[in-house]
Chain A
Amino acid sequence: MNLKSLSIFLIISSFFLTCILSIWKIMATLQGLNFNNLNTTHVFLIGILVSLAFVLIGNKINHLIKIFSLSFLFSILYFHLNEASPYWYIFGVFLITLFFTNKLKKYSTQSLKEDFISEKIIFDFITLFGIVFFAFVILFPFYIMLVTSFKTQIALLVNPLDFSLDFSKSLTELFKSYFVIFETYNFGRYILISSAVSIGTVIVTLLFAIPAAYAVARLNFFGKNFLSTSILIIYMFPAIVLVIPLYTVFSQLGLRNSIFGLLIVYTATTLPVAIYMLQGYFKSIPKEIEDAGIMDGQNWFGIILKIIIPLSLPAIASVALYVFMIAWNEFLFSLMFLDSPKSFTLSRAIQYLSGDAETPRQYLMAGSVIVTLPVLFIFIYFEKYLVSGLTAGSVKE
């Protein structure tokens, strides 16, 4: 056996184990457990022992028995070396070690002799570590957002690390922040406004974009190339540059604080990308199908309505979802154009709420959960459509 690759294997694998167990400990601390030390050295050392035992035992006993007994031993050692902790925590440690030892399966005294094995070990564990790291870093803020909305300001000031939910409380008590923001802060109205603006933007954008995209994809006219290249260039110009002139003009026209004004701006800013996405798809529809329509005496309107739209429903769906998300998440224009609480969108309402330093943070987070949930649901449910939309419309946030 190669000593160099063995030691790399032991260090890297144990380092990985230490990292996941530290994350587990942090999560447990956030449930109110009183840990003050990550004990990384202990974990690292017994991790090395486990990895070493794993490789040395090799195939002498059944894999399942091996990982169960090793994890069990590890958990007992861990239990004795660390501060007192509840059984569910140690059970978590056991499961994590089980997962870890199972990942060691492909390493044996034999495999440690292969070419480039050190690099492969590093790559393997960096992959594992990377996935845990990315998942943790991404989900952690969302987790904090959700659990904060169930706590109270006082409880969080007393112990900012205790996010455990008190299930002995009644449901109304637990969801109090949500009741408050709906009853006191009028969030029902803001949800309606946000939905109206977003759905309105989707409909109007599609009404404008489908004919334009069809013309760009299929018809010959002077300025066509100029139009299709300028679509993207226009998109590089940012909202912040448009804000002052639009603000002044909208003030003079009385379009500020109106949903209609917001709708025009959202439509205009999403149109180029909608046209760009749709024309790409329209081009992929065989021209022969349309020729059949022309033979039947259909005019352009009929062709778009009866042939193009039914054939490109997936593309239209992805444009619609994409535009919906942009409009739902939009903040800059709603900040600039809306100053009366009567016409706030959800994003603007949350920002307005945060402007008052007295607002307890759980209300802010409850509002954030409400504005985030629909988008995440749509995203998870329609991921396939949206990913193609995102890649095509990448130019725009």
Chain B
Amino acid sequence: MSDSLSKLEKRTAYTLVLPAVLLVFAIVLFPIFANVWISFKDIELKDIRIPEPRAKKIVKSISENQSELKIIYKLRNSSLIQEIRNVQFQDKFPTNISPINLDPRCNFKSKKVICNFGNWQAKYRENFEITIQNNNGEIIDKKTIKLQKPILSGRADNPLLTTNFTLVNFKKVFYENNFVELLLTTFYFTFFGTVGAIVFGILAAQLVNQNIQGRTYMRGILLFPYVGPVVALAYTWTLLLDPNSGTLNALLVNFNIIEQPINLLGQKYINMSILGFEFKLRLALTTVIFFEIWRYFPLAFLFILARLQAIPQSLYEAADVDGASPIQKFIHITLPQITAIISILFMIRFIWNFNKFEDIFLLTGGASGTRTLPINVYQQGFAVSDIGMGSAVSIVIVMLLISFMIIYFKLIGKRANES
């Protein structure tokens, strides 16, 4: 009895879960594996369409009496790189009309011209002609002839499914792609973006956690950058930072803080000197990192605030009795309580910043030294339209992500063992 019940339970569970699992599998998991496949193929964007035989029909009069017509079919193979095998052609004609001097590849049967064109090479083109006449000698209506579309069919391999593999994409990724700089930029962006977001998140959470008026409003306002659409926010920032008539530069020049407008998003390096140390700062990258911090510190803030509010007030009261200073309270009470959430946030933000595409794409398009791995996927796959190479970069991203997760869980596991 209970056995059949648990069987029923299992069956119900699978019917309930299956639709969702299948959908996620098709759209999220399958592409990750498909990337591996594509990355080993030398394939470009224009090659992904399955080759098709195509025909354009042109009808011409050849005699005065219009009882004879010439039809020209401009035939071609839609693909520039692949052949189509066994191309079949079929066109239908009205009653009483028959072709004259039909091409030997074709025959006429029950009002239809059927041809067997054999194999078409890549880029194949042919002007194929049929002359038709009306058996009664009457005028043939050009329009009805023209409206009847020929049917073509043929067999071609899906370029994605062929089995000729190559390592050329990976060679290009590692040797012809400034790979080291790409990797460094990505890590610079990811690391500082993450740390910045968490630091500002802690600061903001600490502020809002005090007893101040309008605390709930403040929490709402702080989340604005996180909930707003990227497109709108990125373009607002681009306008704000524009060197020619952007508000920020205009303000700084107006108050004599700088002499010349600075192209914050378009300049790769800027020479800085702090305390006599001269160094070059990655300007555009730093600006993009600031945007990133601005947009994502709210998330860190929200989590840390939730944790702060859960710290028992009695801990602070006890510290007050012991005569602890505000700084001591922060270091000895608050900080240990939020380290766990910070480490989780660090991982989440690190991985998400590592994958960040939209923000950089909209702000700089990957120019002026802001080319990160995700931007490179887009550039290779769609700007240069080398999707094989784009996939290879995706694979590099996936491999790095997996290793981050392994490292992270190793570290977390270790700490769990220690405590």
Residues of A within 8 A of B (CB): 26, 29-30, 35-38, 115-116, 119-120, 123, 127, 130-131, 134-135, 137-139, 141-142, 144-145, 148, 156-157, 160-161, 208-209, 211-212, 214-216, 219-222, 224, 227, 233-234, 236-249, 251-252, 264-265, 267-269, 271-272, 275, 300, 325, 328-329, 331-332, 335-336, 346-347, 350-351, 354, 361, 364-365, 367-369, 371-372, 375-376, 379-380, 383, 386-387, 390-391, 394-395, 397
Contact = CB atoms under 8 A, between A and B. Distances in A.
Given A237-B32, A244-B377, A248-B387, A371 B327 contact: no
B23 A268 contact: yes
B175 to A, nearest CB: 21
12 contacts: A115-B323, A115-B325, A145-B236, A160-B246, A161-B247, A238-B397, A242-B27, A248-B34, A252-B49, A265-B27, A379-B220, A387-B219
Given A130-B204, A219-B12, A372-B228, A249 B34 contact: yes
Interface in B218-248: 218-233, 235-237, 239-240, 245-247
Contacts of A208: 19-20, 23
- For this complex, into which size category does the number of interface residues on chain B fall? 35 or more
A243 B23 contact: no
Given A36-B255, A156-B245, A365-B235, A227 B17 contact: yes
A379 B223 contact: yes
Contacts of B239: 144, 148, 361, 364-365
A234 B29 contact: yes
B82 interface: no
Contacts of A368: 229, 231-233, 235-236
B31 A242 contact: yes
Contacts, number: 283
A258 B240 CA distance: 34
B210 interface: yes
Which of A238, A332, A336 has the most CB atoms of chain B within a 10 A radius of its CB?
A: A238
Interface in B348-396: 348, 351-352, 354-355, 357-358, 361-362, 374, 377-378, 381-382, 387, 390-391, 394
B355 A240 contact: yes
Contacts of A237: 28, 32, 398, 401
Contact of B299 (A116, A219, A394): A394
Given A30-B251, A391-B303, 14 more contacts: A37-B255, A134-B221, A215-B16, A221-B10, A234-B28, A237-B398, A237-B401, A238-B355, A242-B28, A331-B358, A346-B229, A351-B362, A365-B236, A371-B231
B31 A246 contact: yes
A336 B31 CA distance: 15
Contact of A244 (B49, B219, B299, B390): B390
B38 A248 contact: yes
Interface of B: 6, 9-10, 12-17, 19-21, 23-24, 26-32, 34-35, 38, 48-50, 158, 160, 203-204, 207, 210, 212, 216, 218-233, 235-237, 239-240, 245-247, 250-251, 254-256, 294, 299, 302-303, 306, 323, 325-327, 348, 351-352, 354-355, 357-358, 361-362, 374, 377-378, 381-382, 387, 390-391, 394, 397-398, 401, 405
A214 B20 CA distance: 12
B256 A240 contact: no
A391 B102 CA distance: 74
A224 to B, nearest CB: 8
Most buried by B among A160, A371, A376: A160
A159 B13 CA distance: 65
B13 A215 contact: yes
Contact of B377 (A142, A240, A264, A361): A240
A119 B302 contact: no
Nearest to A390: B302
A74 to B, nearest CB: 22
Nearest to A139: B221
Nearest to B249: A160
Contacts of A36: 254-256
B323 A275 contact: no
Contacts of A361: 239
A145 B256 contact: no
A234 B24 contact: yes
A116 B9 CA distance: 64
B49 A251 contact: yes
A241 B27 contact: no
A123 B326 CA distance: 8
A212 B16 contact: yes
B247 A241 contact: no
A172 to B, nearest CB: 24
Contact of A130 (B26, B38, B203): B203
A149 to B, nearest CB: 10
Which of A241, A267, A368 counts the most B-chain CB atoms under 10 A from its CB?
A: A241
B255 A245 contact: no
A135 B21 contact: no
A62 B4 CA distance: 83
Contacts of A144: 236, 239-240, 247
A204 to B, nearest CB: 9
A354 B254 contact: no
Contact of A350 (B15, B210, B235): B235
Nearest to A370: B232
Contacts of B210: 127
A138 B224 contact: yes
Contacts of A369: 232
Contacts of A157: 245
A4 B290 CA distance: 37
A240 B394 contact: yes
A219 B17 CA distance: 11
A118 B46 CA distance: 69
A239 B357 contact: yes
Contact of B35 (A222, A245, A331): A245
B325 A241 contact: no
A365 B24 CA distance: 36
Nearest to B9: A219
A178 to B, nearest CB: 15
Contacts of B230: 329, 331, 347
A181 to B, nearest CB: 13
Contacts of A142: 224, 228, 236
B212 A127 contact: yes
Contacts of B362: 331, 351
